[in-house]
Structure 1
Amino acid sequence: MNKNLTEKIIGAAIEVHRTLGPGLLESAYQECLLFELKRLNLNVTKEIALPIVYKDIKLDHGYRIDLLVENKIVIELKTVETFTDVHSAQILTYMKLGNYPLGLLINFHTKLLKDGIKRFINTPQ
Structure 2
Amino acid sequence: MHVYQLDGHDLDYWVARAIDVRVVPMGEAWALEAAPAAPWEPHKDWALGGPILHENMVSIIYIKNGSGCKGECHRYRRNERPPHSVGRQWGDDPLQAGLRALVEAACGEEVDPPLQHYREFM
- Normalising to structure 2: TM-score of the pair? 0.24
Higher relative contact order (CA 8 A, sep 6+): 2
- Normalising to structure 1: TM-score of the pair? 0.24
1 or 2, which has the higher strand percentage?
Answer: 1
